Amino acid sequence: MFTKTELLNLKKSFSTAFPDYYNQLEACKTEQQLKETYEKIRADAFEKARPYLAEGDDPTGFPAMALTPQQYTNLITASGSNIKVYVTSMLNQAQVIQPDFSVGQTVATLIGGGMTAIGTVAGAAFGAGVLAGAVEAIAVAAGVAAVTVAGLVTLIAVAIVAIIIPIIYFMLKPACCFALVLNETSNELKWKDDYNVHGKPIGYTPTISAAINIPEPIPGAGLYVYAGIVQTDKRDNALVGTQYGFTYSNALNKYDVNFGVECPLTSLYVDNNCFCEINSTSENAADQTDSKNVLSYSASSENPKLNVSINCNSGSGYVAYYVARVQDGSLN
């Protein structure tokens, strides 16, 4: 759960970053008005982001985020409430960026929040800079310049609208799952499909770029990992929460990675939980997460050589946060 202070801080940052969206939501008098306004804001955010997407990008998908080496370390070592803290603080920091920021201000804010690039266009420019030996700040600046500060703000808005607004305005609506999927492989992961036993899918990152490993003594040495976002909620007025499975695929090496997450409306039978496996189905992952009912799970295979894992922040709470990892050993 979020403390009152945490919620106030999120709301204050949101109102400063997106005053128009904030005013629309604050003007709502009923729950139905709030839901309808939220859907309109979501559609508006996606439409504004469309011009800044790469060819082939899904305009309704969440943008991938390139993490700083430090933030990557934070996320893979996080447990318990720290998972929630790292995921939400990263986005809360990003929404500070305004269209009139200079490139320097934007770079400093992104790095301060644990990110180096947001979206395919910025990510490609950042990756090219890092591989060419540019120091982190210069590589980040290349990504910002590629998409422009104004464009970056629209991409951030898509993630903020999807994740921060429900926390602030729908805190009485339980059963939301947010999974951050880390691609620690040398090849991109593409969305395959999903399956809801209960609840409904909200959104996902269509493509998560391959990680970049820069060895010492090259400037900016470190592991730069891309993360995608997956979200599922309970259905409106439902008496059960969300129980969900999803799959990412690697076309080159021909494997699927499957994850299951669940946030029940009540912990009478099961708690918030998670599950993962390799070369199975989204439906099976959704079924197994309920059966296993654990906060942490891992799986591995030799052919293909692969390790997957997922961790949840807490067995209780109306919002469950997950860090999912896909590793093929190529970056060691």
Model pTM score? 0.87
Span 84-106, mean pLDDT?
A: 84
User: How would residue 219 be classed by pLDDT, with cut points 50, 70 and 90?
Assistant: low
Higher pLDDT, 51 or 278: 278
pLDDT range class, residue 74, cuts 50, 70, 90: very high
Tell me, yes or no, whether 332 lies in a domain: no
pLDDT at 278: 97
Segments forming the whole domain that contains residue 78? 4-50+58-327
Per-residue pLDDT band for 174 (boundaries 50, 70, 90) equals: low
Token reading at 50? 């469309």
Considering the chain, what percentage of its residues have pLDDT values greater than 70?
A: 94
Give the separation between CA 325 and CA 330, rounded to whole angstroms: 14
Q: How far apart are CA 101 and CA 152, in angstroms?
A: 11
The one-character DSSP state at 174 is -
User: Going by C-beta distance under 8 Å and a sequence separation of 6 or more, which residues neighbour residue 13?
Assistant: 92, 95, 96
Q: How many domains does the chain have?
A: 1
Phi, psi at residue 154, to the nearest 5°? -65, -35
Q: Which residue has the higher pLDDT, 325 or 117?
A: 325
Report, as an integer, the average pLDDT of 188-211: 92
**286-316 b/e (C-beta count within 10 Å ≥ 16 → b):** bbbbbeebbbebebeeeeeebbbbbbbbbee
Mean pLDDT to the nearest integer, 152-176: 78
Q: pLDDT, tens digit, for every residue of 285-311?
A: 999 999 999 999 999 999 889 999 999
The answer to whether position 319 is within a domain reads yes
Average pLDDT value for the chain: 87
What count of other Cβ atoms lies within 10 Å of the Cβ of residue 20? 9
Residue 65 lies in a domain: yes
> With 90 as the cut, is the pLDDT of residue 222 above it?
no
- Residue 108 is assigned to a structural domain of this protein: yes
Kindly report the CATH number assigned to the domain that includes residue 28: 2.60.270.20
